[in-house]
Amino acid sequence: MMRKTLLAATLMTTALTAHAEYKCEVTPRDDVILSPQTVQVKGENGNLVITPDGNVMFNGKQPTLSAAQREQAKDYQADLRSALPWINEGALTRVEKGRVALDKIIAKEVGESSNMRSRLTKLDAQLKEQMNRIIERRTDGLTFHYQAIDQVRADGQQLVNQAMGGILQDSINEMGAKAVLKGGGNPLQGVLGSLGGLQTSIQNEWKNQEADFQAFGKDVCKRVVSLEESRKGLVGALK
């Protein structure tokens, strides 16, 4: 039970959890490259390039646009420029919030010098690196890599599994040492009591943050659905 609880709580440190828990009806099939000059959407649905003023290249050709189509293209690229940074910032904010909350719990329940804190910091950095494989931060913009989603989810889960073995062992070792130093009674009972307290604190924190994670996942899905509808509408008009 302790291992499962810690695992669930540590998954809180990646915003992928929020999206994974909420099944969105739209699966992205295109990379999106944002730069100051253009927005490019390319993948299974072709190659679409849009400038901020609404000029469009589709599959290497520049179609003649009506005034309505130009406005449609301008709105679509503007929505992409807004959505990707919003998703990225929201994900990173929740990652940091989860890490800080878990770190405080460990410091309080186990101690400021607990090795679990350094393991959590390392895992947090690794998971953020994984997230950057999906939404890559560049000096001149962002790139969304749709093909990275499934692999990042699998790699992130593996990183969590590896880290949790060490965290669980640290918790037993460190709480065992504290119980022995404290003396009196049964040290094993002391360890089990401390583990129970840690488990309860983590469960309570997860309950506090779970609703926000779920809401974020749903909001991300709504934006993805809206963007896909805009893309289909624009491409349909171009064809």
pTM, 2 dp: 0.79
Query: What pLDDT score does 82 carry?
Result: 96
CB 106 within 8 A of CB 6: no
| Number of continuous H segments (helices) and E segments (strands) in the chain | 6, 6
DSSP string, 144-176: E-TTHHHHHHHHHHHHHHHHHHHHHHHHHHHHH
Question: How far apart, in whole angstroms, are the C-alpha atoms of residue 74 and residue 205?
Answer: 43
Query: What pLDDT score does 2 carry?
Result: 39
**Cα–Cα nearest to 41, from 236, 228, 238:** 228
For residue 172, what are the contacts with CB-CB under 8 A and spacing of at least 6? 191, 195
Query: What pLDDT score does 197 carry?
Result: 64
Residues of the chain short of pLDDT 70, as ranges, are 1-23, 175-198
Query: What pLDDT score does 50 carry?
Result: 97
CB 202 within 8 A of CB 5: yes
Tell me the pLDDT tens digit for each residue of 60-94. 999 999 999 999 999 999 999 999 999 989 888 88
